[in-house]
Amino acid sequence: MMQHSLWHCSISMIFIIPLIMLPFTTDASEKLVEDLFQYIDAHQDDFVQELKDWIAIPSDSSDPQLREELIRMVEVTAQRIKTLGATVQQVDMGFETLHGGQKIKFPPAILAALGNDPTKATVCFYGHVDVQPAKKEDGWKTDPYTLTEVNGNLYGRGATDNKGPVLAWINAIETYISLKKDIPVNLKFIIEGVEETGSPGLEELIKEHKEFFSDVDYVVISDNVWLSRKPALTYGTRGNAYFFVEVESGKKDLHSGTFGGIIHEAMRDLVYLLANLVDSTGRILIPGIYDDVPPVTEEEQKLYENIDFDIEEHKNNTEVNSFLYSTKEEILQHMWRYPSLSIHGIEGGFAGTGTKTVIPSKVIGKFSIRQAPNMQIPVVEEQVKKYLEEVFAKLNSPNKLKVSLEIGAMPWVANVNDPQYEAAKIAIRKVFGVMPDMIRDGSTIPLARIFQDLTKKKVMMLPIGGADDGEHSQNEKLSRSNYIQGTKVFAVFFSELPKLHEDSLTKSNQKKPKISQLIGS
In the residue annotation, 63 being an active-site residue is answered as no
For residues 206 and 111, the answer to whether their CB atoms sit within 8 Å is no
CATH H superfamily, domain 11-236+413-507: Zn peptidases (3.40.630.10)
Helix 67-82 to helix 164-178 angle (10° resolution) is 20
pLDDT reading at 184 higher than 50: yes
For residues 366 and 344, the answer to whether their CB atoms sit within 8 Å is yes
What does the mean pLDDT of the chain come to?
92
For residues 36 and 488, the answer to whether their CB atoms sit within 8 Å is yes
CA nearest neighbour of 448 among 225, 242, 224: 224
Task: State the chain's maximal CA–CA distance in angstroms.
Answer: 92
For residues 470 and 489, the answer to whether their CB atoms sit within 8 Å is no
Query: pLDDT of 294-313, one tens digit each?
Result: 999 998 898 898 899 999 98
pLDDT value at position 516?
47
| Residue-by-residue DSSP string for 340-356 | EEEEEEEESS--SSS--
Which residues line the annotated binding site for Mn(2+)? 128, 161, 196, 223, 472
DSSP 156: S
pLDDT value at position 106?
98
pLDDT value at position 510?
73
pLDDT value at position 20?
39
pLDDT reading at 202 higher than 80: yes
Given the residues 195, 217, 468, 496, select the one marked as catalytic. 195
Chain-centre distance for alpha carbon 35: 32
- Using CA atoms, how far apart are residues 132 and 196, in angstroms rounded to an integer? 6
Q: Which residues pair with 341 in a beta bridge?
A: 369
Handedness of CA 287, 291, 292, 293 (dihedral sign): positive
Average confidence (pLDDT) over 103-107: 97
pLDDT value at position 271?
98
The model's confidence at residue 26, banded by pLDDT at 50, 70 and 90, is low
CA nearest neighbour of 476 among 143, 30, 11: 143
pLDDT reading at 186 higher than 80: yes
Helix 164-178 to helix 27-42 angle (10° resolution) is 120
Query: pLDDT of 108-146, one tens digit each?
Result: 999 999 999 999 999 999 999 999 999 999 999 999 999
pLDDT reading at 240 higher than 80: yes
For residues 219 and 156, the answer to whether their CB atoms sit within 8 Å is no
For residues 465 and 478, the answer to whether their CB atoms sit within 8 Å is yes
Query: pLDDT of 439-495, one tens digit each?
Result: 999 888 888 999 999 999 999 999 999 989 999 999 999 999 999 999 999 999 999
- For residues 261-299, one letter each, b for 16 or more C-beta atoms within 10 angstroms of the residue's C-beta and e for the rest, the string is eeeebbbbbbbebbebbbeeeeebebeebeeeeeeeeee
HSE value, Cβ hemisphere, 13 Å, CA-based, for 265: 18
- Using CA atoms, how far apart are residues 214 and 506, in angstroms rounded to an integer? 20
Which residues line the annotated binding site? 128, 161, 196, 223, 472
The model's confidence at residue 4, banded by pLDDT at 50, 70 and 90, is very low
- Using CA atoms, how far apart are residues 375 and 439, in angstroms rounded to an integer? 20
Angle ∠(378,411,315) on CA atoms, nearest 5: 125
Query: pLDDT of 54-99, one tens digit each?
Result: 999 999 999 999 999 999 999 999 999 999 999 999 999 999 999 8
Chain-centre distance for alpha carbon 377: 19
Average confidence (pLDDT) over 19-48: 81
In the residue annotation, 453 being an active-site residue is answered as no
| Cβ-based neighbour number of residue 353 at 10 Å | 5
| CATH 3.30.70.360 applies to domain 239-294+337-409 | yes
Q: What is the C-alpha radius of gyration for the chain, rounded to an integer number of angstroms? A: 25
For residues 40 and 430, the answer to whether their CB atoms sit within 8 Å is no
Q: Exposed (0-12), middle (13-18) or buried (19+): which is 307, by Cβ within 10 Å?
A: middle
Say what percent of the chain tops pLDDT 90: 84
Handedness of CA 209, 212, 218, 223 (dihedral sign): negative
Q: Which residues pair with 244 in a beta bridge?
A: 366, 404
Q: Which residues pair with 409 in a beta bridge?
A: 240
Given the residues 50, 60, 130, 246, select the one marked as catalytic. 130
The pTM score is 0.84
Helix residue spans in 145-297 (DSSP H): 164-178, 202-208, 210-213, 256-259, 266-275
For residues 361 and 263, the answer to whether their CB atoms sit within 8 Å is no
| Cβ-based neighbour number of residue 2 at 10 Å | 13
Average confidence (pLDDT) over 349-356: 90
- Using CA atoms, how far apart are residues 425 and 427, in angstroms rounded to an integer? 5
Contacts of 404 (CB under 8 A, 6+ apart): 243, 244, 246
The model's confidence at residue 198, banded by pLDDT at 50, 70 and 90, is confident
Domain assignments of the chain as residue spans, ordered by start: 11-236+413-507, 239-294+337-409
pLDDT value at position 512?
61
Average confidence (pLDDT) over 354-362: 95
The better pLDDT of the pair 373, 32 is held by 32
pLDDT reading at 521 higher than 60: no
Collapse the DSSP code of 383 into the 3-class scheme (helix H, G, I; strand E, B; otherwise coil) and give the result. helix
- Using CA atoms, how far apart are residues 108 and 191, in angstroms rounded to an integer? 9
